[in-house]
């Protein structure tokens, strides 16, 4: 095997609302940042690019909500990104560029926002038999005043005694550099006598500690543990601890010092989560995983501290708080008199297994009062006991009509007041499961200016039918399928300046892409035409799964508020959602403008 003494770096370059509705942008929590902030690099999928998360304490992490750098060199992947800030203040980024590349990626930055042209470092191109270069990291050696870049490679024939058909045969190699322009030849850094990857180095009280993962024998269901080794020099020789640090299936260890403790993060990649362990003496470790919160979906990254002023431009504005406390989804908002009401689905159970409905009321769209249970399925129905979903309210005459889902049927209940209590009007479903194609869920009733009422419903298909004057019956022969392109569920209708707007949700409610679109018509029965400016409500930053909405007009004004749910922030999903309110605007031609989920609707002067 021959190594060149040095090689030279080369580039492969690659509308303010009126007086009634106020908009309150959520303020970023940047003023609350400590002097030192921790950043956590990562990638998603097969290697999409550089992601950064931030933390005030090194334990609870928030996403910066963007891909900071897209890969352009090597095989054009970015996996295992590692960032080190050198003594000159420059941030040096290295990463895995591909599964079978013989080099690694490199870029630098002074602010973590603007990056130098990406470069491919051919660290193993001259080493015959090299199969890969994985998980590079950079360490600065204060003694020799040079950078040490490490990575793992499997070199055919290099360690024949440990060659196996069960796993690879990686060892840790390194090069040194002072300027990231010229580099030493590749040398062996660590040979513990077995295949290993993901080596990371820290200095601790004059000694040098490496933590690394032993290779897996996946076909046999044998997974390598996380090991530790110690040396007096960053170049070794390293003595491997006889007892592994972690024996569970994990990879990608990274270390960070927080206060007087060292934290070890490992990627439990098969389970889609991270484990966190702390030590003060490198002998005893405490599992603190339950105290930590890592951004969902992130893979193999490293942690490093930065000053507050460096972190501030990276941290996004925080979304406004939810309108209602706790898990509440599918909100139907309405106004009766001087009071606003929200009728939600009670969320927070796997499979959406709620059994009752509640109501919330407010005078200002900010302070909401829980009115308690207004319909309890086991108590108030004889034909359904669970899956209480997606209610809707309508008012006609002196009665309030409450349409709801129960066990994928649609029912209707009646009350004398919007607060209820409501009683089952029919003793059976208004629309039974299987009555039409798709699911019989997500009812919505629109009462037009002439008093005629229209029922919209369906998942997979969108249907409309004119209700009889009693509001609790209809002619099934008159049901019309008006399904627009992209429709999934959650139909809602409003009328503005003579035009009817049919709105609905696209994608599945468990999908972060869940969103709201619309179409218009001159009739509540359609046909509806979907314009190009869709969707008008969708995910943004920390706000995921924004959909299943309703809309209310501020009485006497051409001002509108949209209520919708989003995944609970943080760590929510399609079963754990919360209700939010934002202003909804129109342009001069009557098109609905994109809703900013970072704007919060309130009432002024209330």
Q: What is the pLDDT of residue 602?
A: 87
E strands, 483-559, where?
Answer: 489-496, 499-506, 515-521, 547-553
Nearest to 394 by CA among 369, 415, 366, 421: 415
pLDDT in tens, 70-120: 999 999 999 999 999 999 999 999 999 999 999 999 999 999 999 999 999
Q: 382 and 505: one domain?
A: yes
* CATH label of the domain that carries residue 236: 2.115.10.20
pLDDT tens digits, 543-555: 999 999 999 999 9
Alpha helices in 1-109 (DSSP H): none
Is residue 336 pLDDT above 70, yes or no?
A: yes
SS3 of 172, please? strand
pLDDT digits (tens, 9 = 90+) for 226-261: 999 999 999 999 999 999 999 999 999 999 999 999
* Domain closes at, from 531, 552, 573: 552
Report whether 379 contacts 373 (CB < 8 A). Answer: no
Tell me how far the alpha carbon of residue 260 is from its chain's centroid. Answer: 32
Shared domain for 107 and 194, answered yes or no, is yes
Classify residue 60 by its DSSP letter.
B
Tokens for 542, please give them: 């920390």
CA distances from 442 to 191, 257, 446, 461, 494 (A): 62, 51, 13, 11, 16
Judge whether 591 lies within some domain. Answer: no
Residue 408: strand, helix, or coil: coil
Please report whether residue 128 resides in a domain.
yes
* Whole-angstrom distance, CA of residue 253 vs CA of residue 21: 50
Strand locations in 4-78 (E): 6-8, 10-11, 21-25, 36-42, 50-55, 61-69
For residue 220, report the phi and psi dihedrals to the nearest 5 degrees: -95, 0
Query: Are 361 and 490 in a shared domain?
Result: yes
Q: What is the mean pLDDT of residues 39-68?
A: 95
Could you tell me the strand order of the sheet in which 10-11 lies? 10-11, 119-121, 104-109, 91-96, 79-85
Query: Which residue among 259, 281, 314 closes a domain?
Result: 314
Would you place residue 28 in the very low, low, confident or very high pLDDT band (cuts 50, 70, 90)?
A: very low
Indicate whether 304 and 394 sit together in one domain.
no
Q: Please indicate, yes or no, whether residues 247 and 368 belong to a single structural domain of this protein.
A: no
Residue 135 lies in a domain: yes
Is 375 found in the same domain as 293? Answer: no
**Whether residue 253 is found in the same domain as residue 379:** no
Burial label for 244, CB within 10 Å (0-12, 13-18, 19+), is middle
Q: Which of the two residues, 604 and 45, has the higher pLDDT score?
A: 45
Tell me the average pLDDT across 6-16.
33
Residue 32, phi then psi, degrees to nearest 5: -95, 0
- Active-site positions read 330, 489
> Tokens at residue 409, please?
């049927």
pLDDT band at 604 (very low <50, low <70, confident <90, very high): low
pLDDT at 16 over 70: no
End-to-end alpha carbon distance in the chain: 79
Give a yes or no: residue 371 inside a domain: yes
280 and 227 in a common domain: yes
**DSSP-derived 3-state class of residue 140:** strand
Of the three residues 552, 568, 600, the one that is the final residue of a domain is 552
Strands ordered across the beta sheet of 187-190: 134-141, 146-154, 170-177, 187-190
> How many structural domains is the chain composed of?
2
DSSP sequence for 285-328: -EE-GGG-B--TT-BS--EEEEEHHHHGGGSPPPPPPPSSSSSE
| 581, part of any domain | no
CA atoms of 398 and 401, how far apart (whole Å)? 10
> In terms of Cα–Cα distance, which of 336, 375, 338, 379 is closest to 359?
375
Instruction: Give domain status of residue 604, yes or no.
Output: no
518-527: Cβ within 8 A, 24+ apart = 518/592, 519/484, 520/590, 522/498, 524/446, 524/448, 524/452, 524/454, 524/464, 524/493, 524/495, 524/500, 525/454, 525/464, 525/466, 525/480, 525/482, 526/464, 526/480, 526/482, 526/502, 527/482
Q: What distance in Å separates the CA atoms of residue 136 and residue 142, rounded to the nearest whole number?
A: 19
Q: Whole-prediction pTM value?
A: 0.75
Distance CA 382, CA 305 (A): 60
pLDDT of 297: 87
Domain interval for residue 439 = 335-552
Q: What tens digit of pLDDT does each residue of 390-408 get?
A: 999 999 999 999 999 999 9
Q: Is there a contact between 493 and 502 (Cβ–Cβ < 8 Å)?
A: yes
pLDDT value of position 296 = 84
Q: Domain check: are 264 and 353 in the same one?
A: no
The model's pLDDT over 424-462, given as tens digits with 9 standing for 90+, comes to: 999 999 999 999 999 999 999 999 999 999 999 999 999
Residues 269, 341, single domain; the answer is no
Phi and psi dihedrals of 551, rounded to 5?
-135, 140
Structure tokens at 569: 């922030």
Considering the domain boundaries, does residue 605 fall inside one?
Answer: no
Q: What b/e string do you get for 555-579 counting C-beta neighbours within 10 Å, with b at 16 or more?
A: eeeebbbbbbbbbbbeebebbbbbb
Instruction: Verify that 339 and 310 share a domain, yes or no.
Output: no
Q: Are residues 495 and 381 in the same domain?
A: yes
602 domain residue, yes or no: no
């Amino acid at each position: 095997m021959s190594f060149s003494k040095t090689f030279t770096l080369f580039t492969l370059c690659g509308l303010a609302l009126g007086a009634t509705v106020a908009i309150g942008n959520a303020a970023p929590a940047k003023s609350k940042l400590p002097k030192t902030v921790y950043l956590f690099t990562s990638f998603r999928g097969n290697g999409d690019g550089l992601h950064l998360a931030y933390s005030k304490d090194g334990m609870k992490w928030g996403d910066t909500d963007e891909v900071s750098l897209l890969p352009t060199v090597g095989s054009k992947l970015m996996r295992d990104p590692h960032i080190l800030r050198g003594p000159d203040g420059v941030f040096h980024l290295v990463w895995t560029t591909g599964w079978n590349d013989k080099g690694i990626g490199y870029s630098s930055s002074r602010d973590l926002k603007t990056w130098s042209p990406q470069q491919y470092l051919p660290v193993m191109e001259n080493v015959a038999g090299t199969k890969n270069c994985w998980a590079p990291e950079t360490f600065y050696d204060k003694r020799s005043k040079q950078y040490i870049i490490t990575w793992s490679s499997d070199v055919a024939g290099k360690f024949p005694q440990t060659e196996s058909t069960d796993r690879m045969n990686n060892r840790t190699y390194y090069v040194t550099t002072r300027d990231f322009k010229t580099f030493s030849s590749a040398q062996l850094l660590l040979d513990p006598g077995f295949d290993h990857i993901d080596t990371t180095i820290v200095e601790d009280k004059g000694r040098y500690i490496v933590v690394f993962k032993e290779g897996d024998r996946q076909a046999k269901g044998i997974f390598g543990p996380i090991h530790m080794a110690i040396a007096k020099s960053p170049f070794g020789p390293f003595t491997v601890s006889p007892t592994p640090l972690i024996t569970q299936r994990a990879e990608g260890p990274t270390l960070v010092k927080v206060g007087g403790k060292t934290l070890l993060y490992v990627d439990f990649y098969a389970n889609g989560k991270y484990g966190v362990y702390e030590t003060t003496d490198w002998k005893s470790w405490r599992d603190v995983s339950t105290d930590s919160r890592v951004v969902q979906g992130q893979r193999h990254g490293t942690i490093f501290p930065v000053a507050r002023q460096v972190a501030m431009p990276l941290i996004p504005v925080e979304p406004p708080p939810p309108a209602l406390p706790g898990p509440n989804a599918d909100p139907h908002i309405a106004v009766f008199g001087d009071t606003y009401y929200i009728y939600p689905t009670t969320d927070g159970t796997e499979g959406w297994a709620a059994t009752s409905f509640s109501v919330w009321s407010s005078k200002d769209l900010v302070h909401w009062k829980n009115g308690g249970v207004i319909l309890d399925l086991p108590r108030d129905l004889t034909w359904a006991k669970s899956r209480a979903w997606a209610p809707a309210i309508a008012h006609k005459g002196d009665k309030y009509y409450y349409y709801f889902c129960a066990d994928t049927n649609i029912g209707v209940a009646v009350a004398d007041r919007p607060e209820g209590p409501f009683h089952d009007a029919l003793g059976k479903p208004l629309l039974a499961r299987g009555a039409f194609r798709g699911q019989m869920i997500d009812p919505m009733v629109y009462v037009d200016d002439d008093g005629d009422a229209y029922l919209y419903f369906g998942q997979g298909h969108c249907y409309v039918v004119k209700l009889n004057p009693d509001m609790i019956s209809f002619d099934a022969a008159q049901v019309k399928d008006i399904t627009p392109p992209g429709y999934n569920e959650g139909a809602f209708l409003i009328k503005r300046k003579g035009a009817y707007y049919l709105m609905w949700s696209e994608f599945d409610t468990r999908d972060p892409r869940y969103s709201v679109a619309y179409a218009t018509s001159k009739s509540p029965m359609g046909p509806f035409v979907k314009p190009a400016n869709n969707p008008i409500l969708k995910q943004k930053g920390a706000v995921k799964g924004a959909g299943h909405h309703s809309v209310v007009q501020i009485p006497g004004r051409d001002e509108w508020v949209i209520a919708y749910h989003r995944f609970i922030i943080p760590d929510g999903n399609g079963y754990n959602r919360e209700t939010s309110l934002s202003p909804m605007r129109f342009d001069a031609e009557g098109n609905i403008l994109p809703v900013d989920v970072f704007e919060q609707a309130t009432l002024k002067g209330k």
